[in-house]
Amino acid sequence: MGARIRRGSAALAAAGLTAAIVAALAPAASAAVHPTVVETVPVTVDGSNQSGWWNPLTVVGDTTYFAYNVPAGTNRHQVHLAARSADGEWTSGCLRFATGACADYLNDNGHNQPSIAIDGAGDIHVFASMHHEDWNYFRSTVPGDVTSLVEVSAEMPDQGSTISYPITSVGPDGDVWLMVRTGPDALARRDGVLYRYDLDAGTWARETVFASATNYSVYPDDLTVDEGGQVHVLWEWHKWAAGPYRHLGSYAVWNPGTKSFHDIAGGALPTPIRPTTPGPVVFQPFTADESMDSTTPAFQTAKMAVQDGALQGITYRYSAAGSTLFDLKWASWDGSAWNRETLIDSASLGAGVDTVAAMDATAFGSKNRAYGVISVKVGSELRSQVVLFEQAKGRTGWAVEAIGDPMIGQQRLRAATGRAGTDVLYLSAPATPGGGTLRYAEVPRSGEKRTGGSLADIVTALRDAQ
């Protein structure tokens, strides 16, 4: 039913070709301020293993869980899960239909990707490969066992809905929360909806429609349930029905006890929230010449960091008027207004430089972090590098550092904070020649303080890699 592979000869054999490619690209070594562990997971991922909104990573105690797409024939993929134990052993299994066959789906980059969660009883929940279609939902029959996932789509409410962009989080009570977009297209809208899995009852129910407006479509970005059970929701808007260039990055908090929303300032919000709802819901408003029809300026993808019940910041991509390049931004609330700053100014880094729709944000102790990916076109070859930004709270300026090796093609990522503030990273490079790679990384917060760093130096190293 599953594959158990220890790091060693088998893993090295599976990663041999990738190692050769990375060695050929790698720039001269430089020591990271905090030693970062990066290892290649002994699997080959499909070219479709890439998205900006997904949540294919979770950390429970000393165990890390990855979900990923693997090749399953022409333009198709299976969805697999792998668990990494504290001693570095990986165990993997596939999602299975009632027949026992591994589930496989049509490739659709940016749409048909998995999100996972592990409830308070240890059961694994997986939502996979849904783009404007009915539920594809799987759950483990044995807690924590990635080889025991079976389809239970019929248990979901709102059967027959058109579901997209499932994003997951788990509350302090062990309940699983799910954020999706549903499409009542006959009414010229696509809504943002929250669902909740009641651990005690073992059932799902619709919680609320958090965002909806005629002639608009919601694009979910991120979902976090904090230690107090408050549900932090992040999304963006587009003119109905769909398009890649979105607008009005938005944030709100749902209180399950009072069944109500409030904004970052604590002001009550109507339900559902609309693009025109008053108050500081929108953290990235329209800029000059921007509208719901514009391709530039435009907003695309966002992730947030929440700590001790409070939003620490939001990282997102935004293109300025007249530019086709996307910058990486950071938005934070100062108590009275949203502040926005640029982490990566793509145009300032030279020709062929852009960001990738891959990012995350974490917060622990006195430090906020944002992760992004820089891409550089060198001749006919696209190269990419994961980059970490770190800032001490209450201070200005960000330290910057490259994470892992440069890779061929775009990279995608997610981050989760584990014990002692160490960030665990999911790094997918689906375009790696010879087969897409998946890497596991640990970025600790202990050790010497991060200072300085240079994006220009990182880009130069990426250009000069041989």
Q: What is the pLDDT of residue 390?
A: 96
Output the tens digit of pLDDT for each of the chain's 466 residues: 455 544 433 333 333 434 444 444 544 334 455 668 999 999 999 999 999 999 999 999 999 999 999 999 999 999 999 999 999 999 999 999 999 999 999 999 999 999 999 999 999 999 999 999 999 999 999 999 999 999 999 999 999 999 999 999 999 999 999 999 999 999 999 999 999 999 999 999 999 999 999 999 999 999 999 999 999 999 999 999 999 999 999 999 999 999 999 999 999 999 999 999 999 999 999 999 999 999 999 999 999 999 999 999 999 999 999 999 999 999 999 999 999 999 999 999 999 999 999 999 999 999 999 999 999 999 999 999 999 999 999 899 999 999 999 999 999 999 999 989 999 999 999 999 999 999 999 999 876 666 668 999 999 999 998 6
In whole angstroms, what is the distance from residue 120 CA to residue 125 CA? Answer: 11
> What's the DSSP call for residue 450?
P
Contact between 305 and 312 under an 8 Å Cβ cutoff? The reply is: yes
356: left (phi over 0), alpha (psi -120 to 50) or beta: beta
In whole angstroms, what is the distance from residue 94 CA to residue 103 CA? Answer: 7
Half-sphere exposure of 323 (CA within 13 A, CB side): 22
Predicted structure pTM score = 0.94
Instruction: Tokens 């490739």: give the residue.
Output: 107
Q: What is the pLDDT of residue 35?
A: 67
Amino acid in the structure at residue 95: L
Q: What is the pLDDT of residue 36?
A: 85
Amino acid in the structure at residue 369: R
Start-to-end CA distance of the chain, whole Å, equals 41
Is cis: bond before 241, omega within 30 of 0?
yes
H-helix or E-strand spanning residue 209: strand 203-211
- Structurally, at CATH architecture level, domain 3-464 sits in 6 Propeller (2.120)
Residue 126 neighbours by CB under 8 Å, 6+ apart? 67, 79, 81, 95, 114, 115, 116, 137, 138, 139, 149
Vertex 389: Cα angle to 439 and 41 (nearest 5): 5
In whole angstroms, what is the distance from residue 458 CA to residue 463 CA? Answer: 9
Q: What is the pLDDT of residue 12?
A: 34
Q: What is the pLDDT of residue 247?
A: 99
Q: What is the pLDDT of residue 333?
A: 98
Q: In a 3-state reduction of DSSP, which class is residue 153? A: helix
Half-sphere exposure of 111 (CA within 13 A, CB side): 16
